[in-house]
Amino acid sequence: MRGFAGQVRDRLGPGRIDALVLNAGIVRRDALARSQDGHELTFAVNYLAHYLLVRLLLDTCADGATIVLTTSGTHDPAIKGGLATPRHADARLLADPDRDPGARAGTARGGQEAYTASKLCAVMTARTLTRHPVVLERSLSALAFCPGQVFGTGLATNLSLPRRIAWKIMGTPVSAPLRRVVPTLNTAATTGSALARLALGQVPIPTGRTYVALRRGALTWPDPSELARDEEATRALWRDSADLVGLPR
């Protein structure tokens, strides 16, 4: 991320960023893999790298620019999204599950919790960004975008073979009837279009809203999970994330 941020600055010169879209994501069958920095890999890719990139590039954003962090409705237990929901948003424990007495890193549940917790952290960071001095000064928009479930993408690459096959098949028109009854299912084309409109500032943002979810192909503005709205936990996440990447709080 630091190398990428440096290259962006070199290419920009005196220019500014109009939209910063943080969309990289993985889900794994467990939480055993580690990044080069030694952090749990799903947390590092889905959240910590995005947090670091935002911090490194925030001052290059143009007035009125948009920052979008891709999240997931599975961060919210009320959605009943079929994955194990987050137990907490403690960045230090998510980065190092070996220190977390409740983590079951070697299991499928551990992999799911790593994914949903990383998406929870994205929602919380978008909320913190709305109060950041640079965001306020330059009238930036910070959003956490839930695309719903989008079959056929590369997200399932690290899952078991049966799950990868099912994911690929469901990405074809065969899933069309299911989308009529399941509001969280969306096509890649619909999701990409929605994300582009958000990034380009073409969608009016309701006052006080940072969480936007694509449901039946339409952008909605529901409340995020109860934990995502916990102010103390949100402030702690920002502080601990800064410490993990070696930046000022």
pLDDT of residue 179: 86
pLDDT of residue 158: 84
Is the pLDDT confidence value at 45 over 90?
yes
pLDDT of residue 234: 97
What are the residue ranges spanned by the domains of the chain? 2-242
Q: Give the whole-angstrom CA distance, residue 74 versus residue 210.
A: 17
pLDDT of residue 169: 84
Is the pLDDT confidence value at 81 over 90?
no
Average pLDDT over residues 83-97: 96
Is the pLDDT confidence value at 119 over 90?
yes
Q: Give the whole-angstrom CA distance, residue 237 versus residue 62.
A: 26
Is the pLDDT confidence value at 213 over 90?
yes
Greatest Cα-to-Cα distance within the chain, rounded to the nearest angstrom: 50
pLDDT of residue 84: 94
Radius of gyration of the chain (CA): 18
pLDDT of residue 153: 87
Q: How far is CA 29 from CA 117, 165, 169, 236, in A?
A: 15, 15, 19, 28
Q: What CATH topology corresponds to 2-242?
A: Rossmann fold (3.40.50)
pLDDT of residue 20: 97
Question: 194: which 2 tokens?
Answer: 């929605």
Average pLDDT over residues 34-53: 97
DSSP string computed for 165-207: HHHHHHTSGGGHHHHTT-TTB--HHHHHHHHHHHHTT-SPPPT
- Percent of the residues in the chain that have a pLDDT greater than 90, as a whole number: 84
